[in-house]
């Protein structure tokens, strides 16, 4: 039986109305799309290597590098606009755009001093402009993440160590706790939200392993804000945790006592996380994933939480007995939290009536 005959029978039974819908074009199998993407990257890499070897002057002159980088990004923008849903063209354009961004950074570094915050602010501005202009999901994730990391490096150059995490956290709260913003322009804000999440996790991870020393950005701390900045940043992240807990419990229409309990639990966790770098940021992502119903954020937040807890555990200067006691206490707290959640103490009355 053909699709037209089936539609006629359904119409005869008064199960459907109107004209038969037009069949959508069948998407290519995933392995074909993967191979097309790999082919696009290979083609772009070989082309850029040829251009780089032939015109090595591009990497020696900052102005020429800026012009070449802008041309690559403009060409990528044209490919994204012209060949939408074409895997080969999109991956080719993505590789070309990343190469163009690298040339822009090289050109800006040749013109501006790497020790100045203005370099990182210029890079952040260029990445933000590309994230807003180029209509591609993955490109917006990477460009948004690059802009956030460059902004964090600029903040670090001003001596405000540790204050980039709460700034990015506030941006995440502004994006992920506003469903109406997704409805208005989800193709823009959703990838930018993922980019900020990626940047926040990278910044917290780099800080744990001394990436500031690796990139030559660390300086001797002589001011109070440089010494206490990381602690202030973790305190600001704790304040964001409390705000998210109160806002989400209010959105769930919980009674005042339960809202206060949710805020108190978030405050307690935030205070405990003051001694564990990265822990508050991971919990922030986890709470935003719960509030937005986003499994990707829930997964990233859970993995980050486990990773930062493991790092904190192995960096403690305690005996094995002390560490074992801490793990046991943590397990008891988690079991108590599970019991509270299973009993539905934090569920709204409307949800309880619906389940009943």
pLDDT score for 353? 47
pLDDT of 349 strictly over 70: no
Indicate the average pLDDT of the chain.
80
Q: Please state the rounded mean pLDDT for residues 242-247.
A: 88
Q: Per residue in 109-142, pLDDT tens?
A: 888 877 778 899 999 999 999 999 988 888 899 9
pLDDT score for 212? 53
Is residue 194 within 8 A of residue 138, CB to CB? The reply is: no
Q: How confident is the model at residue 214 (pLDDT cuts 50, 70, 90)?
A: very low
Q: How confident is the model at residue 350 (pLDDT cuts 50, 70, 90)?
A: very low
Q: Please state the rounded mean pLDDT for residues 223-239.
A: 81
Q: How confident is the model at residue 293 (pLDDT cuts 50, 70, 90)?
A: confident
Q: Which of 24-33, 100-109, 145-154, 177-186 has the lowest mean pLDDT?
A: 24-33
pLDDT score for 54? 66
pLDDT score for 216? 42
pLDDT score for 284? 92
Q: How confident is the model at residue 208 (pLDDT cuts 50, 70, 90)?
A: confident
Q: How confident is the model at residue 356 (pLDDT cuts 50, 70, 90)?
A: very low
Residue of 240, 143, 155, 122 lying closest to 195 (CA atoms): 143
pLDDT of 28 strictly over 70: no
Q: How confident is the model at residue 7 (pLDDT cuts 50, 70, 90)?
A: confident
Q: Please state the rounded mean pLDDT for residues 306-330.
A: 78
pLDDT of 195 strictly over 90: yes
Q: Measured at the alpha carbon of residue 154, what is the angle toward residues 69 and 173, in degrees to the nearest 5? A: 100
> Residue 8 corresponds to which tokens in the numbers above?
């006629």
Which of 44-48, 119-123, 155-159, 307-311 has the highest mean predicted lDDT (pLDDT)? 119-123
Q: How confident is the model at residue 211 (pLDDT cuts 50, 70, 90)?
A: low
Q: How confident is the model at residue 337 (pLDDT cuts 50, 70, 90)?
A: low
Of residues 144 and 178, more confidently modeled: 144
Q: Which of 44-48, 168-172, 271-275, 286-290 has the lowest mean pLDDT?
A: 44-48
Percent of the chain with pLDDT strictly greater than 70: 79
Of residues 152 and 335, more confidently modeled: 152
């Amino acid at each position: 039986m053909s699709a037209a005959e089936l539609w006629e029978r359904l119409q005869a039974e008064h199960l459907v109305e109107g004209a038969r819908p037009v069949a959508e074009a069948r998407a290519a199998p995933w392995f074909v799309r993967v191979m097309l993407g790999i082919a696009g990257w290979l083609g772009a890499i070989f082309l850029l290597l040829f251009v780089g070897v032939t015109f090595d002057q591009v990497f020696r002159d900052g102005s020429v590098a800026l012009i070449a980088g802008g041309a690559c990004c403009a060409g990528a923008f044209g490919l994204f606009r012209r060949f939408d849903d074409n895997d080969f063209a999109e991956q080719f354009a993505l590789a070309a755009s990343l190469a163009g961004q690298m040339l822009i950074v090289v050109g800006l570094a040749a013109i501006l001093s790497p020790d100045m915050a203005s370099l990182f602010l210029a890079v952040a501005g260029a990445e933000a402009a590309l994230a807003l202009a180029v209509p591609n999901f993955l490109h917006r994730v990477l460009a948004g993440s690059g802009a956030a990391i460059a902004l964090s490096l600029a903040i670090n150059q001003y001596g405000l160590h540790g204050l980039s995490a709460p700034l990015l956290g506030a941006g995440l709260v502004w994006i992920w706790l506003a469903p109406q913003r997704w409805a208005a322009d989800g193709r823009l804000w959703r990838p930018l939200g993922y980019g900020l999440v990626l940047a926040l996790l990278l910044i917290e991870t780099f800080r744990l392993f001394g990436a500031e020393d690796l990139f030559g950005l660390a300086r001797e701390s002589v001011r109070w804000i440089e010494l206490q900045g990381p602690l202030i940043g973790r305190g600001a992240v704790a304040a964001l945790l409390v705000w998210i807990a109160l806002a989400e419990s209010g959105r769930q229409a919980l009674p005042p006592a339960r809202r206060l309990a949710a805020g108190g639990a978030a405050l307690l966790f935030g205070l405990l996380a003051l001694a564990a770098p990265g822990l508050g940021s991971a919990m922030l992502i986890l709470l935003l994933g719960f509030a937005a119903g986003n499994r990707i954020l829930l997964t990233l937040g859970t993995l980050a939480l486990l990773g930062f807890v493991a790092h904190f555990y192995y960096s403690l200067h305690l005996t094995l007995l002390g560490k074992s006691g801490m793990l046991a206490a943590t397990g008891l707290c988690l079991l108590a939290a599970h019991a509270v959640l299973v009993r539905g103490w934090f569920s709204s009355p409307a949800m309880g009536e619906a389940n009943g």
